[in-house]
């Protein structure tokens, strides 16, 4: 016989109350853990996806949209910019690397990005299999794409126009897989990389077919450009230009100049994301507050349950005192009850939050084609643990007050 | 051995001060304390159990001045040497019969072998209810469990508060037999407070408050 055993038996003798206390506390813990992990994962994934990109230049419009579309590949592009203009900007000495990207097609929902070989450097992505792109209509797959679509080197496929999977606007020329990247846990994992020429070729060829009857022979795009030298592409457009700087001082000067002097806009991904967090932060805060409220309420449930036990079982407790139990032993008995509830709730809470997030991310994963779950840092985990512990200890110390004040003699003679 | 000297007690909210006659019991001597209700019988019993502290006077049980013991020593002393029997019997509701006895021994810091516990249960006809919950017991079984709980640790002093007032003659005799025999077996002092005159003939020593 130990005090632990008595505490456990006490809890088992009132299963409904115990379940209610454990469950409501677990729910608030799950909510707190879940929301924290969600926020951490979200921020981590966003910032991780930025890679080494310091600045993005694209068509005028919403800077947030430009960042979401061209850096995180989550939104539609703001428009196109002339490749010539982008090239001029690239010559700025403050720029370490400037990579043009052009997109507008997808294959089964995965975006096809036309760019240069430098694009992979932003994400430190190395080839796992195959080789670099040598000519138009060759592609390298991000790791997730290859895995999910079961594509191998040498496979060919037809891309669809637009950013959403569809069978109606299929292009007629097939793309050939020449390489697959190693996993990076960054946005490149879910992209299909090709060169700029592939994108232009696909669209020019289609322009040609579409407009053949209207314009007849002599239309500027009447020939297929596959394999043609680069000067043929003069006058072409790209979607945006991704830039990394040599040193951070350029962060202020260059965007201002571009926004003032050119027809393009420059957006700082980090700044735009911070703005985004401010919008989404309201939601996170609201849910956090709800979770804290539930935490307080569930701790009150525990307090009431313990207090009720102490009050209703006052005679039992007084009886234990006549058995030779000290006040401290009775306090421990109540304390252990609270601790068992807290521990069970914490374990159940972790389980609930893990399960909840798992299913949530299953849905998000299919939508964004990327595993976004990121483990909660241990310190945050501890913080929530400590908060719950403090709340439980408070409930316990309030509940044991009647024990300290207990007059055994009065209780025994009154309940006789 | 129980001895009191000039014992007085005063409840905070009441004007009246209880003054108790001196008690002097040798080993194995039993005592009956009679008196009307409100005269302070239970108060005296609780003083002897160390549940209340006297305003003045001394209580010596087996050589220990219990009115001068510290809280923790008093708890230990009570657990080891005193067994209390109540008019209505209570046990810890969340524990079964056997665990109640185990808890009694645990808090009294006494270790009794399992066969001895079984013996006692056998003697009280509770063997079949070893694993029963307290609220599954009948009134009579509960009464016997209460008795078992007061004596399982072989106390030196058994204090009984109106143990028979709600019982019929038959049960009254049974309970008193159990108490007196147990006291004899372990060489303990039995002190019973009551206004039940049926049990008066069983005691050689009696005081009236």
Phi, psi for residue B178 in degrees, rounded to 5: -55, -50
Residues A151 and A177: beta-carbon distance below 8 Å: yes
Mean pLDDT per block of 10 residues along chain B (209 residues) reads 88 83 89 86 89 90 88 89 84 88 88 84 87 87 87 90 83 87 89 88 88
Pairing of strands A55-59, A81-82: unpaired
* Contact with chain A for residue B5, Cβ under 8 A: no
When mean pLDDT is compared across A169-173, A207-211, A313-317, B113-117, the lowest value belongs to A207-211
Q: Which residue of B has its CA nearest to A413?
A: B42
- Using one digit for the tens of pLDDT, what is the confidence trace for A151-191? 999 999 988 888 777 777 777 788 899 999 998 878 888 89
Position A210 pLDDT exceeds 60: no
Residue B45 vs residues A279, B32, B200: alpha-carbon distances, Å: 72, 11, 18
Phi, psi for residue B189 in degrees, rounded to 5: -90, 135
Note which residues in 297-336 of chain A have CB less than 8 A from chain B.
313, 315-316, 319-327, 329
Residue B102 vs residues A214, B84, B108, B114, B156: alpha-carbon distances, Å: 101, 16, 10, 9, 19
* Contact with chain A for residue B184, Cβ under 8 A: no
* Contact with chain A for residue B46, Cβ under 8 A: yes
Residue B169: the pLDDT is 87
What is the percentage of chain A residues whose pLDDT exceeds 90? 15
pLDDT mean over A362-387:
72
pTM of the model: 0.71
Sheet of B82-85, strand order: B82-85, B157-161, B189-194, B31-34, B206-208
| Residue A217 pLDDT level (bands cut at 50, 70, 90) | very low
Residue B32: the pLDDT is 93
Indicate the burial class of A161 (C-beta count within 10 angstroms; 0-12, 13-18, 19 or more): middle
Residue A183's SS3 state is coil
- Using one digit for the tens of pLDDT, what is the confidence trace for A236-285? 889 999 999 888 777 778 888 888 888 899 999 988 888 888 887 788 78
Q: Which residue of B has its CA nearest to A6?
A: B95
Handedness of CA A247, A251, A253, A258 (dihedral sign): positive
Q: Which residue of A has its CA nearest to B92?
A: A316
Residue ranges with strand state E in A26-134: 55-59, 81-82, 95-107, 110-115, 127-130
Position A141 pLDDT exceeds 90: yes
Shortest Cα distance, chain A CAs vs residue B202, angstroms: 24
Nearest of B105, B125, B127, B207 to residue B174 by alpha carbon: B125
pLDDT mean over A20-36:
86
- Using one digit for the tens of pLDDT, what is the confidence trace for B122-146? 888 888 998 998 888 888 888 888 8
Residue B197: the pLDDT is 84
Residue A205: the pLDDT is 62
pLDDT mean over A117-125:
88
Position A223 pLDDT exceeds 70: no
ipTM comes to 0.88
Residue B153's SS3 state is coil
| Residue A214 pLDDT level (bands cut at 50, 70, 90) | very low
Comparing B36 with A335, the larger pLDDT belongs to A335
């Amino acid at each position: 016989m130990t005090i632990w055993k008595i505490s456990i038996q006490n809890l088992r003798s009132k299963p409904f109350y115990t379940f209610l206390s454990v469950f409501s506390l677990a729910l608030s813990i799950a909510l707190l853990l879940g929301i924290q992990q969600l926020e951490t994962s979200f921020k981590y994934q966003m910032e991780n996806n930025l890679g080494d990109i310091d600045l993005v230049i694209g068509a005028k419009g919403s800077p947030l949209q430009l960042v979401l579309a061209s850096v995180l590949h989550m939104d539609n592009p703001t428009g196109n910019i002339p490749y010539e203009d982008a090239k001029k900007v690239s010559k700025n000495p403050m720029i370490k690397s400037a990579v043009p990207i052009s997109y507008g097609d997808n294959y089964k929902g995965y975006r096809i990005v036309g760019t240069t070989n430098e694009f992979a450097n932003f994400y430190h992505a190395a080839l796992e299999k195959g080789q670099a792109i040598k000519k138009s209509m060759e592609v390298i797959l991000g790791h997730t794409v290859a895995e999910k679509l079961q594509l191998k080197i040498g496979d060919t496929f037809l891309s669809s126009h637009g950013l959403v999977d569809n069978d109606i606007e299929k292009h007629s020329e097939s793309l050939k897989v020449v390489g697959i990247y190693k996993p990076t846990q960054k946005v490149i994992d879910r992209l299909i990389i090709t060169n700029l020429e592939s994108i232009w070729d696909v669209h020019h060829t289609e322009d040609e077919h579409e407009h053949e009857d209207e314009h007849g022979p002599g239309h500027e795009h009447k020939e297929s450009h596959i394999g043609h030298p680069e000067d043929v592409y003069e006058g072409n457009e790209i979607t945006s230009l991704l830039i990394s700087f040599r040193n951070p001082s350029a962060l202020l000067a260059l965007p201002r100049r571009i926004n003032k002097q050119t027809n393009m806009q420059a957006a700082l991904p980090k700044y735009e994301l911070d703005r985004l967090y401010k919008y989404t932060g309201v939601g996170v805060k609201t849910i956090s507050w709800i979770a804290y409220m539930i935490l307080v309420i569930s701790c009150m449930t525990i307090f009431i349950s313990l207090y009720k036990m102490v009050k209703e079982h006052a005679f039992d407790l007084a009886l234990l005192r006549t058995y030779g139990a000290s006040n401290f032993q009775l306090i421990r008995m109540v304390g252990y009850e609270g601790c068992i509830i807290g521990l069970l709730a914490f374990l159940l809470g972790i389980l609930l939050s893990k399960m909840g997030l798992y299913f949530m991310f299953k849905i998000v994963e299919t939508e964004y084609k990327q595993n976004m779950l990121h483990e909660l840092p241990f310190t945050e985990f501890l913080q929530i643990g400590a908060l719950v512990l403090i709340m439980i200890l408070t409930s316990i110390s309030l509940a044991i007050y009647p024990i300290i004040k207990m007059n055994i003699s009065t209780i025994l003679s009154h309940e006789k | 051995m129980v001895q009191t000297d000039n014992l007085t007690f005063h409840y905070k909210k009441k004007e009246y001060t209880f003054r108790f006659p001196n008690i002097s019991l040798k080993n194995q001597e039993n005592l009956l304390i009679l008196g009307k209700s409100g005269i302070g019988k239970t108060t005296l019993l609780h003083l002897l159990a160390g549940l209340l502290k006297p305003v003045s006077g001394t209580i010596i049980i087996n050589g220990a001045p219990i009115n001068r013991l510290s809280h923790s020593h008093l708890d230990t002393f009570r657990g080891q040497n005193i067994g209390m029997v109540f008019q209505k019997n209570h046990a810890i509701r969340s524990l079964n019969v056997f665990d109640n006895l185990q808890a009694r021994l645990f808090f009294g810091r006494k270790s009794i072998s399992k066969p001895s516990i079984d013996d006692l249960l056998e003697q009280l006809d509770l063997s079949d209810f070893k694993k029963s919950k307290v609220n599954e017991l009948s009134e009579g079984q509960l009464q016997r469990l209460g008795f078992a709980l007061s004596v399982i640790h072989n106390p030196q002093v058994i204090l009984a508060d109106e143990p028979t007032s709600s019982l019929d003659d038959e049960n009254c005799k049974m309970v008193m037999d159990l108490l007196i025999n147990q006291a004899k077996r372990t060489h303990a002092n039995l002190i019973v407070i009551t206004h039940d005159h049926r049990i008066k003939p069983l005691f050689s020593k009696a005081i009236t408050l």
